[in-house]
Amino acid sequence: MNTSANSCLSVNIMIIVLAAVVFLLILHHNLLGLSDILKRQGSDVSAVGFQRIDFLPEAPEEKIIVDVPVVITAVESRLGGVIAAINSISSNTQSSVTFYIVTMNDTKEHLRSWLGDTKLKNIKYKILDFDPQVLEGKIRADERAKPLTFARFYLPDLVPAVEKIIYLDDDVIVQGTYNYIGYFDYKKETIRKLGMKASTCSFNPGVFVANLTEWKRQNITRQLEKWMELDIAEELYSKTLAGSITAPPLLIVFYKMHSSIDPMWHVRHLGSSTGKRYSIQFVYSARLLHWNGHFKPWGRAASYSEIWEKWYIPDPTGKFSIIRRHTDAEGAK
């Protein structure tokens, strides 16, 4: 009996030893495999064996403040309009705005004085030169429009580092489309072939947002220049244009290539007559007012001029003054 018991005990011990050996062999094999993996990924493992984390999904993203770029042209005789427009924008927006003011040499110093010696001294702005030489061969010598009215044709050249811009005429006030299409001479064959109708709601050349990346991709500037050159050869546009001769090329090139904006962001025609076509309550509730037309808000007979005057800042140099019908309005100068 003792011999049988001893034999059974020996077998059990041997089984236990063999099991232990097998377990150690498996453990050794696994450790060798893990060692190879760690060697292959050594560049991604820290000294304590933890993989470095380059990106934390839970980490809050840093908020990047992007300036809103606004382009506006500054003609000496209309500089008061530029100042009022800039003041209305900077006073009513919560965004960071950079103004790109396109002008010529005869206006630079006057503009700097007006901005630097008034409440606008802290706005962000850049004064850009416009070279009228780019217009040679593209407009007639007796053209009534100022060279700066064509600056909007060359936006990617003026602000090459900006992807999207807001372009505004100097006769707007921001508190929150002018249809030039009737100025075309539809009897001209070149215009008739476009299939345009005088009743079509059109692109507005005085208030627009432009994607300059797309502008450059489609070579919009060259397209505009082509229509300027054709006008010299064929007189495509009506002689009733007055100061709006820059509009036809823009309307042709952007025909059915633009989207509309909220009408409250562009209440227009305020300068088309001396009468008041809108109620005063409506005008006050609008986000953007545009005195497009002959009667500018700094002139004698403009409608709603009292709203515009809220944003006008008197010229510290005394060179510019607004005109009013009554002598008692001289205090607004």
Question: Which tens digit of pLDDT belongs to each residue from 104-139?
Answer: 998 999 999 999 999 999 999 999 999 999 999 888
- Please count the structural domains in the chain: 1
* Residue at 26 is within a domain: no
Question: Which tens digit of pLDDT belongs to each residue from 167-196?
Answer: 999 999 999 733 333 333 444 555 455 444
Token pair for 283: 């005008």
Q: For all residues of the chain together, what is the average pLDDT?
A: 77
* Residue at 86 is within a domain: yes
* Residue at 198 is within a domain: yes
Question: Which tens digit of pLDDT belongs to each residue from 58-89?
Answer: 544 554 557 889 999 999 999 999 999 999 99
Q: Which domain holds residue 268?
A: 68-332
* Residue at 30 is within a domain: no
**pTM tops 0.85:** no
> CATH number, domain at 276?
3.90.550.10
pLDDT at 177: 31
* Residue at 15 is within a domain: no
Residue with the larger pLDDT of the pair 23 and 288: 288
* Residue at 59 is within a domain: no
* Residue at 79 is within a domain: yes
pLDDT at 146: 81
* Residue at 48 is within a domain: no
Label residue 236 by pLDDT band (50, 70, 90). confident
The sheet carrying 164-168 orders its strands as 124-129, 97-103, 68-73, 164-168, 207-211
pLDDT at 242: 46
Burial label, 82 (beta-carbon count in 10 A; 0-12, 13-18, 19+): buried
